[in-house]
Amino acid sequence: MYKDVHGFNDFLLNEQKKIKHRNSFTFNQKVKQKAINQNVYGGKRFLGHTPSNKEVWVSMRYSKKDSTLQVRVDSGFNQLFKDEAVLANRRLVMKLGTKKPDVKKHMNSFKKNAGGEVTIRTLNYINNLISIVNSKNSKAYSNNKPTSLLFQYVSSIIYEGDTEKDIRWSDVIKFWDLPSGEYFTVDSFPESLDN
């Protein structure tokens, strides 16, 4: 009796491994197909409220067709540096073209930092990234295309993607042939448009 039960457990474990492998293969194939068919990758991140209670978001958009990367902040971005501004206490992102969530509801449901809190350092980092993205003749670009490292920096801070509704930044790098380039850090660039 024990040998039969043991044999069945081995059989069950082997079948479960096969199903898991099949499911992961199917998932990876679906993601690859979605990435190949998609032409634009973009999203937004909520940064906070200005002293006059205006919402401020930062957005990114990358077009596969013409290899252009854009990073934009809403008007009022500079107001977030003021003491009276209320910065986001958690990370809130959305894919471009989707319905905007109820920001106050999301921010109030997490009184403590639930991860992804926006700080002055975050705002300075985004400011530097905008400068780098606008500097087309820098080492952040290769043959007029943003490098995979620049794309990774931008998407990691703004919109990392989502396998349910979108693709991930790593899928864009893998399937959209972003060029690799020279290594750099965001802090190594001076804060100007002439990088």
Helices in the chain by DSSP H: which ranges? 2-37, 103-108, 120-134, 148-157, 169-175
Task: Identify which of 89, 79, 36 has the alpha carbon closest to the alpha carbon of residue 56.
Answer: 79
For Cα atoms 76, 132, 89, give the angle at the middle one, nearest 5 degrees: 45
> Tens digits of per-residue pLDDT, 21-42?
656 656 677 888 888 889 999 9
> Tens digits of per-residue pLDDT, 159-192?
998 877 788 899 999 999 899 989 999 988 766 5
For Cα atoms 131, 133, 134, give the angle at the middle one, nearest 5 degrees: 65
